[in-house]
Structure 1
């Protein structure tokens, strides 16, 4: 009986005491300074798919294999900012706010533009690190 209790105690210690910790990617902080958007230009070449303007339901995307990564944005401006990753709209940041989007492993560029179209930010990145873009 005593041997069984010792065995159970050792088993519990082994199970609880040996938790594995997944290695997380390091954060890479990048400060991106905004610049004025030229007033006379045609369609923006940095935007492939903009924010939807109708209520047509979008089908659920198929599950994909491969790694996903997070991209965080810190908005240090008083502007609302639309976020695009590889030209696809991902969301809008409120002034003085932050937000995170999850993207596929093959992303290469981020592009941000104020909702009024007066300021823009752009940078490159990848999924080897978790990027934190500080927009100023």
Structure 2
């Protein structure tokens, strides 16, 4: 009988911790509508570092707290993802992906592979974000 009561109490305690922790870190869903990409002469001011084209210089491991940022691509376009201006990857058409950001972030910028559509939004590592690109 004592074992049964102990198991029931342990299950209740586990469920209380599980439900309280999931509500504290609830995902924030953000719908981000595309806009026509503005053609400019020169470099895009939203991009600090584009996708690497060689293996000449490996990137050093970032220090600090890390968070994940999720993306849902609700378009038929391939989309390049930039966080604070740094290339993080490419989403498949109708796909989804997650990137890891060390040290926090303030802005996401996405542009279609052909450069015709773009998405902008802000965020941070204080909560989990899922950006729905439409």
Q: Tell me which residue corresponds to 1:65.
A: 64
Deviation track 1:66-115 (CA, whole Å, cap 9, x = no partner) reads 3x221111001111100000001000001000001111342000000011
Structure 2 residue 48 is matched with structure 1 residue 48: yes
Checking the alignment, whether the CA contact within 8 Å between 2:74 and 2:132 is kept in structure 1 is yes
The two structures have a TM-score, normalised by structure 2, of: 0.80
CA distance in 2, matches of 1:125, 1:59: 24
CA distance in 1, matches of 2:122, 2:95: 21
The two structures have a TM-score, normalised by structure 1, of: 0.79
- In structure 2, the CA distance between the partners of 1:57 and 1:40, relative to structure 1 (3 Å rule), is closer
Unaligned 5+ segments in structure 1 are 1-8
Q: Tell me which residue corresponds to 1:123.
A: 121
State the shift of 1:23 in Å. 2.1
CA distance in 2, matches of 1:59, 1:128: 25
Unaligned 5+ segments in structure 2 are none
Q: Tell me which residue corresponds to 1:5.
A: none
RMSD between aligned residues = 2.5
Checking the alignment, whether the CA contact within 8 Å between 1:32 and 1:133 is kept in structure 2 is yes
Based on CA coordinates, which of the two structures has the bigger radius of gyration? Answer: 1
State the number of aligned residues: 128
Checking the alignment, whether the CA contact within 8 Å between 1:105 and 1:126 is kept in structure 2 is no
Checking the alignment, whether the CA contact within 8 Å between 1:72 and 1:98 is kept in structure 2 is yes
For residue 132 of structure 2, the aligned residue among 120, 131, 134 is: 134
Larger helix proportion, structure 1 or 2?
A: 2
Deviation track 1:45-84 (CA, whole Å, cap 9, x = no partner) reads 110010011232404415x233x22111100111110000
Q: Tell me which residue corresponds to 1:30.
A: 30
CA distance in 1, matches of 2:32, 2:121: 7
